[in-house]
Amino acid sequence: MIVTSSSSSFELKYPFVEGLWDSRVNPLVSKPARVGYSTRKDVHVSDHELRKTVISNHPMPMPGHLQGPYKGEKQLKGSSHKLEYVRTLLIDNYDSYTYNIYQELSVVNGLPPVVVQNDEWTWEDVCHYLYEEKAFDNIVISPGPGSPACPTDIDIVTGKCVLEERILSVLQYVYSHSFLSWGLRRVCKNHMKFLLDTGICIRLLLECWDIPILGVCLGHQALGYVHGAQIIHASEPVHGRLSEVQHNGCRLFHNIPSGRNSGFKVVRYHSLVVDAESLPKELIPIAWTSSSDAISLLETQKTNTLTDAYENQIGHRRTSESVLELKNGSFYPSIQSDKSRRVLMGIMHSSRPHYGLQFHPESVATYHGRQLFENFRKITEDYWLRLRPYPACMQVPCASQLIREIPRRRHLVRSADDQLCRVDSQISQLMHNAYQNFGMSSVVNLSNPSIGAKFLKLNWKKFDHLASQVGGARNIFFNLFGHSRAENTFWLDSSSTEKKRARFSFMGGKGGSLWKQLIYRLSDQSDSTLKGGGYLSIEDAHGFTRSTLLEEGFFNFLNKELLSFRYDEKDYEGLPFDFHGGYIGYIGYNLKVECGVSSNRHKSRTPDACFFFADNLLVIDHHNDDVYIMSLHEEFTTPSPWLEETKGKLLSLKASTTKLEEQTFQAATLSPFKAGFHAEKSRDQYMEDVKKCLKYIKDGESYELCLTTQIRKSIGQKDPLGLYLHLRQRNPAPYAAWLNFSKENLSICCSSPERFLRLDRNGTLEAKPIKGTIARGETVEEDKQRKLQLQYSEKDQAENLMIVDLLRNDLGRVSEPGSVHVPNLMEVESYATVHTMVSTIRGKKRADISPVDCVRAAFPGGSMTGAPKLRSMELLDSIESCSRGIYSGSIGFFSYNRTFDLNIVIRTVVVHEGEASIGAGGAIVALSNPEDEYEEMILKTRAPSNAVMEFV
């Protein structure tokens, strides 16, 4: 193997095994079976078996029906040969869009794919399931960060020692038989050593010439790379932007228009490309960008124009272009137009059913994306039908058998082993859905009582049209819960209720017998005796405190707590909201280590999670002006007198003429530094960090990096509640919040406009990410112009689209196949000081997934990380100089009846130990300008920092 590299390209040249078997050496020898895995049980194999492994007249059997794990052979229906199920192995390269592919394939194939991360199976495992169990009909290799030339990006070899011993045994056999020429023996040795340095993605493309494979983005580049093409930097990084594509009419693009103004527009996320000039003869280009120009997402084309253009192209192609039928059954009409300014968007192998797409067919903004997956399914069906009358894909999986057979890493559980971060679970993603598809009981029964279960009863009262009569939410909170500096109180405050963005506010304080306070801190990662988890302090209603080590982490604890509650749904019939009591508080950004990130570089100054269990609360319906009071108690215990006591306070407040007066002030628009804040990083340092992000993006390490920093100011003993009341008046927001944890000397004054994730009682998940912000204008006309400027900004569209696709992926991990959708894409919403670009993503939660699992699958919110999420968070940890703490985390509730609603902690003042801190930042994309990014960061701090200055 010879690898040459330069600053802008990598080139791999190696002797490909398929081409080694020359008839001049042995005219009776056909293409070999895969080298080095035909025997699974023993490393030491017989001469006969070794010879059969290296040179075989009979290649290993193609994937057929499974003996045992599959049942119910399906007959062909008519002449169309359409099969009911196609089984896909989906290789995840730690990307944030893999589960968008998963959702598409679940619908197209009629069966969810099995998702395996690229370091989860050894090559021995892969071969076992592909060729012995014959468990899959095709393979899809996902996008991912980095380059196929970097082994840690595309693969990490597991079981390398076993593989090395196996290959050495084969080499010993090769060198001991003189019928093989010296040159051929040397070539075999070099090839096998090359295999030791590669992982499953590269080896799948190298050796599985008899299985249909589709590579997307990084998978596409890997297909080019393994056959000798160069991977180089594109002329410019393109992330979250659209291009029109011209293709050659091969089967992968069947029934899809081609060329300019045809309507075939695709989303691209890449900064590296396969160099078209370096393509070997066995790889054929099948798609290009129609031009070098990107297209605005909001551009539209008339339907008749699209149809006419498509029909004209197809008709012209059929009459004027020569068509070559290839060995894999595809057709290649040559593209004659100039490619000098265009980028290669697709390739195929001339003799194998292997295809690559540089763009992302799974993106919400790609046109004809599902048709591409349907075409790949048809290619798979036809491929197997040509080989045998009853292919593997005519079988239906039996879930119980595959549960025993297929080891899976459950993507919602983080291992304590940070070296490889592996958790072997007996339940595969396929099996979760197979139970659903074939009417079997749920893998995880969320309804059966467990040890320590608590049966909760809910009592409540409603007061019609009372809120305005007692002075509104501000007056209610201040008079009922604002005494003693509002210690240990909460207020989820929909202070901005315009346009139905939010409807309900929830407030309360230290409550009844079920009340408790949770304070959680992650363990010190320098402590070698601990592999993860952290310390939880629990204070009960009587003031007794106990501490415990949570080795499995906070999310697992919270999950068990919520699953232990039993309740009667009739208790809350008629209530128009979903929080009826339960846990309310915040999750800090550093809890990302319980969601897949290997470590935190910076330790938070504040606890990593703080929650109250709220058994008494007051709810305000801002639309109907109603007030509800609610109280939880355990069955067979005496209900709390809190309901009657609070009823009396509300009625007396109604009778009182004393109302808390709203303050009036002239809103300041000063820089936070003129308001007395100091920054963690100077202007020059922040701009230098932006440049680092741009370098990572150029090198393909990330598509988008959400860079942040902190500003701080000492406020001494100033009343934090007064500060919050001032902030909510100055900058009202639909997901605002007040939290006070007195033992920690911690108060949170949040004016967030952004929802992270919500789960309602119907099982609907909803995320509303914000990406794209601009200051409001001083006049009506200027304000309209600024709103349009944001709406048509290509940079902001790219930012938003990347996060929309990321959230679709996160919801796709826990939602029913085919249920994830985007009802609103890139709507501009206006707030007191800024316009923002907001999208809405929804999905239907799977029955076997718990509410906490949903949060863990998506936390931290993608709008605060970038994409791909895991790699982006690792890069940001290396760039940012301090912990984000509460900023970038989430505030909200987990109701006892398994609903939740969480915000994104932005536009927030955290008051801790007499210091006010504000976090802010922005998404860095390829189109970012360092100076503009710095100004955007400052803009986002102005409302909270000026509120602090005005109050102090």
At 531-570, the pLDDT tens digits run 579 999 999 999 999 999 999 999 999 999 999 999 999 9
pLDDT band at 308 (very low <50, low <70, confident <90, very high): very low
pLDDT, position 169: 52
- Angle between helices 554-563 and 851-858 in degrees, nearest 10: 160
Is the peptide bond between 61 and the residue preceding it cis, with omega within 30 degrees of 0? no
pLDDT, position 660: 57
**Interval 164-176 mean pLDDT:** 49
- Judged by DSSP in three states, 915 sits in strand
pLDDT, position 578: 96
Instruction: Write down the domain spans for the chain.
Output: 454-593+607-655, 678-951
Lowest model confidence (mean pLDDT) among 121-125, 243-247, 629-633, 754-758: 121-125
Neighbours of 409 (CB within 10 A): 22
Phi, psi of 707 (to 5 degrees): -80, 140
- Judged by DSSP in three states, 713 sits in strand
Contact partners, residue 476, CB within 8 Å, separation at least 6: 467, 470, 507, 618, 620, 627, 650, 653
Percent of the chain with pLDDT over 90: 63
CA–CA separation, 332 and 322 (whole Å): 8
**Interval 3-24 mean pLDDT:** 29
pLDDT, position 658: 60
What DSSP string describes 652-669? Answer: HHHH----PPPP------
Lowest model confidence (mean pLDDT) among 192-201, 500-509, 802-811: 192-201
- Judged by DSSP in three states, 894 sits in strand
Sign of the alpha-carbon torsion through 766, 871, 707, 598: positive
pLDDT band at 530 (very low <50, low <70, confident <90, very high): low
Buried b / exposed e over 590-625, threshold 16 CB at 10 Å, is bbbbbbbbbebeeebebbbbbbbbbbbbbbbbbeee
CA–CA separation, 754 and 496 (whole Å): 12
**Interval 446-460 mean pLDDT:** 74
Q: Are 348 and 330 in contact (CB under 8 A)?
A: yes
Instruction: Determine the Cα angle at 375 with ends 371 and 377, to 5°.
Output: 115
CA-based radius of gyration for the chain: 30
pLDDT, position 386: 86
Which residue in the list 191, 270, 360, 368 is annotated as catalytic?
360
Lowest model confidence (mean pLDDT) among 172-176, 479-483, 598-602, 644-648: 172-176
Neighbours of 64 (CB within 10 A): 18
Alpha carbon dihedral 931, 933, 934, 936, in 10-degree steps, equals 130
User: Which residue in 792, 806, 818 sits closest to 757, CA to CA?
Assistant: 806
CA–CA separation, 267 and 260 (whole Å): 15
Provide the whole-model pTM: 0.81
DSSP secondary structure letter of residue 938: H
Between these two residues, 243 and 424, which has the higher pLDDT value? Answer: 243
How far apart are the two ends of the chain, measured CA to CA in Å?
Answer: 68
Phi, psi of 424 (to 5 degrees): -90, 115
Which residue, chain included where needed, has tokens 């799977």? 846
CA 678 to chain centre: 34
CA–CA separation, 846 and 858 (whole Å): 15
Q: Do the domains 678-951 and 454-593+607-655 match in fold?
A: yes
Residue 160 has pLDDT above 50, yes or no: no
pLDDT, position 525: 62
Residue 74 has pLDDT above 80, yes or no: no
Average pLDDT, the chain: 79
Residue 627 has pLDDT above 90, yes or no: yes
Structural element, H or E, at residue 582 = strand 582-587
CA–CA separation, 470 and 865 (whole Å): 42
- Angle between helices 794-812 and 851-858 in degrees, nearest 10: 140
Helix, strand and coil in the chain, % to nearest 5: 30, 25, 40
Structural element, H or E, at residue 236 = strand 231-247
pLDDT, position 501: 74
CA–CA separation, 751 and 493 (whole Å): 9
Domain spanning 454-593+607-655, CATH architecture: 4-Layer Sandwich (3.60)
Strand boundaries in 360-453, DSSP class E: 396-397, 408-409, 424-425
| Amino acid at position 801, single letter | L
Residue 861 has pLDDT above 70, yes or no: yes
User: Which residue in 614, 608, 680, 611 sits closest to 859, CA to CA?
Assistant: 608
**Interval 414-440 mean pLDDT:** 35
Residue 30 has pLDDT above 80, yes or no: no
Q: Mark whether 217 is an active-site residue.
A: yes
Domain spanning 678-951, CATH architecture: 4-Layer Sandwich (3.60)
CA 622 to chain centre: 33
Residue 663 has pLDDT above 60, yes or no: no
What DSSP string describes 811-876? Answer: HHTTB-TT--EEEEEEEEEE-SSEEEEEEEEEEEBPTT--HHHHHHHHPSPGGGTEESHHHHHHHH
Q: Mark whether 362 is an active-site residue.
A: yes
Residue 755 has pLDDT above 50, yes or no: yes
Q: Are 734 and 753 in contact (CB under 8 A)?
A: yes
pLDDT, position 832: 82
Which residue in the list 11, 120, 362, 561 is annotated as catalytic?
362
CA–CA separation, 849 and 857 (whole Å): 10
Between these two residues, 519 and 46, which has the higher pLDDT value? Answer: 519
Q: Are 295 and 273 in contact (CB under 8 A)?
A: no
**Interval 613-636 mean pLDDT:** 95
What DSSP string describes 515-566? Answer: -EEEEEEEPPTT-TT--S-EEEEEEETTS-EEEEEETT-HHHHHHHHHHTEE
Q: Are 738 and 723 in contact (CB under 8 A)?
A: no
Is the peptide bond between 868 and the residue preceding it cis, with omega within 30 degrees of 0? yes
Residue 194 has pLDDT above 50, yes or no: no
**Interval 74-98 mean pLDDT:** 73
For residue 758, the cross-strand partners are: 766, 901
Instruction: Determine the Cα angle at 810 with ends 808 and 814, to 5°.
Output: 105
Residue 834 has pLDDT above 80, yes or no: yes
What DSSP string describes 515-526? Answer: -EEEEEEEPPTT
Instruction: Determine the Cα angle at 648 with ends 646 and 650, to 5°.
Output: 70
Percent of the chain with pLDDT over 70: 72
Structural element, H or E, at residue 712 = strand 704-714
CA–CA separation, 855 and 813 (whole Å): 11
Residue 54 has pLDDT above 80, yes or no: no
At 119-137, the pLDDT tens digits run 889 888 999 999 999 899 9
**Interval 431-445 mean pLDDT:** 35
Give Cα separations from 212 to 114, 147, 331, 355, 914 (angstroms): 16, 23, 16, 8, 62
Structural element, H or E, at residue 618 = strand 616-621
Instruction: Determine the Cα angle at 264 with ends 261 and 267, to 5°.
Output: 120
Phi, psi of 360 (to 5 degrees): -110, 100
At 229-239, the pLDDT tens digits run 999 999 989 99
At 359-384, the pLDDT tens digits run 999 999 999 999 999 999 999 999 99
- Judged by DSSP in three states, 941 sits in helix
- Judged by DSSP in three states, 419 sits in coil
Q: Mark whether 912 is an active-site residue.
A: no
Residue 874 has pLDDT above 80, yes or no: yes
Most confident of 335-339, 714-718, 752-756: 752-756
CA–CA separation, 32 and 847 (whole Å): 46
Give Cα separations from 730 to 185, 458, 668 (angstroms): 78, 36, 10
DSSP secondary structure letter of residue 74: P
